[in-house]
Structure 1
Amino acid sequence: MVKPITIGIAGGTGAGKTSLSNAIYKELGGQKNCVHLTHDHYYKDQSHKTMEERSKTNFDHPDSLETELLVQHLQELKEGKIAILPTYDFKTHARTPVTTMVHPRNIIIVEGILIFTHPGLCKELDMKVFVDADSDTRVLRRIRRDTVERGRTLDSIMAQYESHVKPMHEQWVEPSKKHADVIINSEVGTSQKIAIDMLTNHLRVAGECT
């Protein structure tokens, strides 16, 4: 096995990180050649708190995530070892007993809004991509995702956006853009298609994907 190539994909909530990550994953052969690590799986367990306390947690602050564990798993995969990943339930704000065994692959994709805010994680990434989008576009995408996938109400989504998401984006996410090697505007279809082709061609060669 060749030395894995790691790519980090960051950006604000609803910017299009998951769509880009999934497109690259699919173009490079999926599970055959790639591992897709999502920072969202590493939220700290909240099961010791009441549901009311859990709902007040600032999930958009770096301290809400166990990033050191993500770094550990990334290092294990880069060393050719198996990593055991946690699973997080967004409806209960708690880790579940279910874990996922992930085998090392030539390409490792790491996705999350705050991954460029952690120096140790940045050092593990060979390529850093920031996905950008207008704030109105991002909040509409977040509403669609959280109502459909996470069973949340519009009122709770907007309250969280105003109290945590927007200020944390301005404090942490937007400034982390300076660490990116590539910035993509997900609202421009042709720009995103060109970026996907460029990234996958580079990763395919570097990671010796077949």
Structure 2
Amino acid sequence: MFEEKFEKLSLTEQESFRRIINWLLAHTYLLQGNYVFDDSMKRTNPDYLFVERQFGLFQDYLEYSGFHLERDSNYGVIFISSTYEYNRVKFDKATTLMLYVLRLIYEEEREKLSLSRDIFTSTGDLVHKMISLGVIKKKPSNLVLRDSLRTLNRFRVIEKPDGSWEAADTKLLILPTILFIVTNERISNMYKLIDEEPGGDMIPEDEEDEETYQDASDSLA
């Protein structure tokens, strides 16, 4: 029984359990390594190790609420998915397209690397890539850039050091979680989204004008 196993944890472990459950419900993904930009290196995430040790306990608790806890040890990702359709996040079109292009950048850069899995780009390079692909005709407004990149950061798709999201030279770390959000099958679906908007310019200058929404991922809680 869950209650019996939970009571066997120390008070500190019980508090960690509650805190991590809240994190997963808010952010969906938990990574094995946290990148420290000041040191240009990854440090092991103790929360990830704790969930690994108590995976069955976390799994049992979340199952009660209709969530599935999953992990991929190869990429060091633990995440939750929801049984219920209405408890999944939908991204607006601008965020969806940025997510799609970030996935393409991730694949292209990963092919160039032999050892490191850390994939970097920048806000400026992201926008340039979107224009070169014909997704947009011109740079989106700073408001759209900022809000979309913040959303992707919330769901652990990207990280950045200090600086504004919309600045062209802001470095973006693309996290391996993107592989679980944008699968190969979903890439094909996103191609269709682009084809439906001939001529590009798919991202509005004012976010309030955007009324079209797309599913971001079946794995988003």
Tell me the TM-score normalized by structure 2.
0.26
Tell me the TM-score normalized by structure 1.
0.27
Q: Which has the larger radius of gyration?
A: 2
Give the structure, 1 or 2, with the largest relative contact order (CA under 8 Å, sep 6 or more). Answer: 1
